[in-house]
Amino acid sequence: MNLTKKRIVSGMRSTGKLHLGHYFGVLTNWVKLQKEYESFFFIADWHALTTKYNDTAGLKESVRDVALDWLACGIDPNKSTIYLQSLVPETAELHIYLSMLTPQNWVERDPTLKDMTKILRTQGDSDGSITYGLLGYPVLMTADIITFNVDYVPVGIDQVAHIEISRDIIRRFNNIYKTEYFKEPKPLLTEIPLLKGIDGNKMGKSFNNDIKISDDEETTQKKIMRCITDRNRMRRDDKGNPENCEVAYTYWKIFGTEDELKEIEEGCKAATLGCADCKRCLAKKINEHFAPIREKRIELAKNPETVRDILIEGSKKARAEARKILDGAKEAIGMYF
C-alpha cells in the first residue's frame, strides 16, 4: 500500500477490441494518471454479463483483447494494478452488503441503468427485459469503487451522475453503521474529446462505425475513406468548408500538426484538395500514430501466457488489498469473521 499517493480505480467492460474513442477518451488519460496515483484498473467481466449474459462464447477472448489493448497503449503492470473483476470475489461480497441497504428507487433513477438498458436492446436480447443483475449495476459499480477505498474515480463530465449514486450509497453505509470507514470518492474530471464514428454518430462497436486500435493499415484506410465529410461539397472542384466536415476534419484536429491543419483548411476552401485525397492523407497519419502500438500488441499476442500471468498477478495483488478493506467493512457492520 502506497501511503504517499492518492488512490484511483477505473474499469472497462470486457466487450472485445477497443476503438479510438476508448484510446483518446480513457487510455491516454490512464497512462498519465498511473504516474501520479496508486492506480487500480480492472476488466469488468461481471459488468459485461449484465447485457451479454446469454452470449458468453467470446467472453474469454474479449478479456484477452482488452488486456492486449491496455498493455499495448501503455498501461504498465509495474505502475498500476491491472486485474480481472471476477478474480476479486471480495468485490462481490461487498456488493451483497451494499445491496442490503440501497433503496430500490435509487438504482431505478440512475442514468447507468438507462444506458445499459439501451445497450441490452441494441444487442438483440430475446426480450430486452431488465434483469436483477442489470438493476443492481450501480450497486456493483459502487462495490468496485470501495473495494480499494479510493480517493478519486476518473470520469468525464457526463459520468459524474454515476459517481454521485456511489457517494450516496457510501454515505448511507457510513451513516447506518455509524462509521467513517469508507471515503466518499470524488470524480476526477477528465477532458474527454468527442470522437465521432465514421458515420458522424457516436463511435461504438455495436454501431459498426468504429476504428479499432488494432485495425491494420488497410482496414483503417478503408474505414477512413468511408468517413462523412462536407455534405455540401458534391464535386472535386467545389470549394468546401472544413467546419462543415462532419468527421474527417475533426480527426485532423486530433492527429494533425498545426501546420498540417492549416494546409488542409486552405486546400479544402480553395478546392485544391479533394475529400478523397484529404482522407488518404488522414489515414496515413492515423496509421503512423498507431504503428508502434499495433506492433507492440502483435508481439504481446504471440505470448498469451504472459498476458494471462499479468492479469493473474495483478488480481492476486488486488485481492490482497481488497481483503483488508472487506474485513474492515465487516467489522463496521458487525459481521463475525
Residue 116 has what pLDDT? 66
Is residue 158 classed exposed, middle or buried when 0-12, 13-18 and 19+ CB atoms within 10 A define those classes? exposed
Helix-then-strand count for the chain, H and E:
15, 5
Nine cell digits for residue 315: 488480481
Nearest to 265, CA basis, from 243, 244, 242: 242
CA distances from 19 to 29, 228, 300, 326 (A): 15, 18, 18, 35
**How deeply is 125 buried, as exposed, middle or buried, from its count of CB atoms within 10 A (0-12, 13-18, 19+)?**
middle
Cell of 15: 466487450
User: What per-residue confidence (pLDDT) applies to 121?
Assistant: 63
Residues in the chain: 337
Weakly modelled stretches of the chain, pLDDT under 50? 125-126
Cα separation, 19 vs 25, whole angstroms: 10
DSSP string, 119-174: HHHHTT-SS-PPPHHHHTHHHHHHHHHHTTT-SEEEE-GGGHHHHHHHHHHHHHHH
Give the list of residues 6+ apart from residue 207 with CB closer than 8 angstroms, or none.
197, 199, 201
Sheet of strand 38-44: strand arrangement: 80-84, 38-44, 7-13, 152-155, 186-189
For 332, what's the count of Cα atoms within 13 Å in the CB-facing half-sphere? 21
**CA-based nearest residue to 220, from 139, 299, 280:** 280
